[in-house]
Amino acid sequence: MAPPRFIARQLAHPAGSLGRIVGWLMNRHNARMNVFAARRLELSASDRVLEIGFGGGAALPLLIGHAAFVAGLDRSEDAVAWATARYRAAVASGRAEFRRGDAAALPYDTASFDKAATVNTIYFWPSLEAGFAEIHRVLRSGGRAVVGFLPKARMDRMGMPADIFTTRAPEDVIAALRRTGFTRTAAERPTPETAWTVVVAER
């Protein structure tokens, strides 16, 4: 059964007390995907990392705990305010920052990150190419991008509103990454039975 539209809208753009509840539930539901995606970044202690659409912050403890600097970008002002407060020590020490923004116009300098990750956001991007081109721009040569999502075949069975969610097949994600300059792209899952996919690409 498809979720109510107000829940679908919260998944796309969490806000208010309902947004916090939805974020907590999604953190629990997507914990394994977030951990798998973060580990596929192969973080080192010197890495500067960008997470696009951090939402409820499921991956942030792992990223902040293993990288030199973490930048979080999200469309939700509430998510940015929550993360800034929750990780205020890392923010104060210059090891993290959180901004409101969009994948298609990243507010960062060219070649300013070593790694970039986004999980469960590409359904809401009007253009895969626009978002991936921006990720390619802000990554340094040899950088790595990781994209986690539930593939189209599974998402279409859930009946998500088409005006809010654009479902994506793994082959379409890989093709868009290659068109924007990424190489050595691969779709990965921890087991053949896993519903979700993580695509890893190198700049």
Torsion of CA 101, 106, 108, 114, to 10 degrees: 110
pLDDT band of residue 6 (cuts 50, 70, 90) is: very low
Residue 8: CB atoms within 10 A of its CB come to 18
- pLDDT, average across residues 18-36: 67
Residue 88: CB atoms within 10 A of its CB come to 11
Q: Which residues does residue 50 pair with via DSSP β-bridges, in sequence order?
A: 71, 116
Q: What is the pLDDT of residues 120-157, one digit of tens each?
A: 999 999 999 999 999 999 999 999 999 999 999 988 88
Q: What angle do CA 130, 131, 134 make, to 5 degrees?
A: 90
For the cut 60, the answer to whether the pLDDT of residue 57 exceeds it is: yes
| Per-position DSSP letters for 35-74, written without gaps between them | HHHHHHT---TT-EEEEE--TTTTTHHHHHHHSSEEEEEE
Higher pLDDT, 42 or 13: 42
For the cut 90, the answer to whether the pLDDT of residue 46 exceeds it is: yes
Domains parsed from the chain with CATH numbers: 5-202 (3.40.50.150)
In whole angstroms, what is the distance from residue 43 CA to residue 178 CA? 23
